[in-house]
Structure 1
Amino acid sequence: MIGTAVWLAAVPLWFLAAYLTVIVLTPPMLALHRRYGLAVPIVLTLLVGLGDAARLGLRIPYVGEANFLFAWLAMHQLGFAWQDGRLPDRRGIALPLALAGIGALVLLTVLGPYPISMVAVAGQEIQNTAPPTLALMALAAAQTGLALLLYAPARRWLRRLAPWTAVVAVNSVIMTLFLWHLTAAVLGVLALHPTGLLPQPPPGSPSWLALRIPWLLVLVLVLTVLVAVFGRIERRRGPHPGPGEATGVLPNLLTLTGTVGVLAGLLGIALAEPGNHHPAGLPSPAIAAYFAGTAVLRLARRRHN
């Protein structure tokens, strides 16, 4: 039971593995964007579709795992396209993109083989995030179109001091909120379930839905405490090299080596099945790789300074 709870709390760490990989690959992906533009995310999306066909249609093992890379890189490319104007926030582009994404999502989930849930659900043979599927890419297109539609009114709204201050405050701890929200859920279960203060009627029933309100309020309180404790770590800003400042071969090599170690550790934790992996309920080799990687990154920072 403890192993399952630790595994559940560690689930958000998969995002750090995807995020760090995309960050490391940003220079070559930016070069591809500057050369080929929107053709890059289109090709990456086609590769996701081919991976799905090989995995789900032809039952070829492990081929679809490449979608972990192709899908997140494709979404990252949309940010490049928006920033340099190749994907402008104009209604004539944003609305068709949103409608096309929603239409494709409905077809792929209602008529196609993909589940409606975009997050992992226990017992389902196909998971839209493990690895990412074409349905998830359709959702990304729909969300991108909606974001482009809302950009102009949101920008006008954020010219007001109060909304802008709230956005800046939340964004300063946004990674902390994400990484600790399932820990808050685990702590909420430990605090309320044994006491019987919050009964659990059948999921989906009217009483179950009504009890979601106090349940979420409890989780907000727990998460607020966690953010107050750990948010200061995210707010810290380390030194960064200035424009054109050479960092040297050794610091770059150390940074790459440390990042590989961190990624190996995060992937080992993310791929671990629920269970009691000693110590601390997580796989020991993954923990060792992670802390070795962070130690090398600290050394790289000191060498740079």
Structure 2
Amino acid sequence: MSEPVLAAVVVTYNRLAQLQITIERLLAEPVDHLVVVDNGSNDGSREWLWSLHDPRLTLIEPKENGGGAMGFEIGMKAAVDRFDPDWLVIMDDDARPRAGTLARFKAAVPEADAVAGAVFYPGGGLVEMNRPWVNPFASARSFWKALTGGRGGFHVSDAAYAPEAGQSAIDGASFVGLFLSRRAVELAGYPDGRLFIYGDDVLYTLSLAKRGGRTLFDPALVFDHDCAQAAPGEIWRPLWKTYYLHRNRWFVYRLAAGPVLFWPLMALMVPKWFWNARRLQGEERVIYRRLLKLALSDAWKGQRHRPHAQILALAAG
């Protein structure tokens, strides 16, 4: 049996130093196609990409910066339409597979619709925001585990990252080191580019699970993510991120919890989000609350396409 055709999709914006490491790492792997979506970089990223002459590389330059969500939607569509690969593997510009990961995947493709790799910091340690999870609302057992175990009750354990642990079933993962089969795209379509940033990966993988897709976590497929991470409860900066973080969380919770449990859940979460404003002072507190109110209003109405320029203006005070 021949090896599957694998296309990598990377979204980038003004992170040339990170992008160079990622692209060079990917081109050293047995990837058949590499689609890079540049969201309007002005730091030399485009010029550097143009200077590359590897026939596997395709550069997509959207007319406007639609954020990571639109970048992944555009990139995945381009990869499927142009190359019809058996599998996609997607990642941010500051994330990349460790040597041998893609070869290992192609040599023994798991029997699944999607596969999430294990994501670590380059210097070691698990990247929490890339830890795969199961839907805590999917069953009484999973709900009880989340209720009694908190975040650890519905995310894969540290022990599951051991190479000898083998593959385990999950409901969702991030867009860092995520392999998607042709069937996964047929089931779930493409990410919702209107979300701009945050939650697009959660919604996509959860939608795949709800449509019958089978997703596995494979600790043998290792990726590095050279990123910073906010501590629990920390205000994400710049403050304009407040809008997308909370609006998109509403959509995530709605899909995960379903129509009955969603409202009790939000009755707990919304006061907590407003309470977080106490971490800010003066004008920043006003801006945070303004953005949060708009996020909740838009989420209530199902509004997913507010121009980013409006959000930036509101965040400017």
Q: Would you tell me which structure has more helix in proportion to its own residues?
A: 1
TM-score over 0.5 (shorter chain): no
Greater RCO, CA 8 A, separation 6+:
1
TM-score normalised according to structure 2 size: 0.26
- Structure number with higher strand proportion: 2
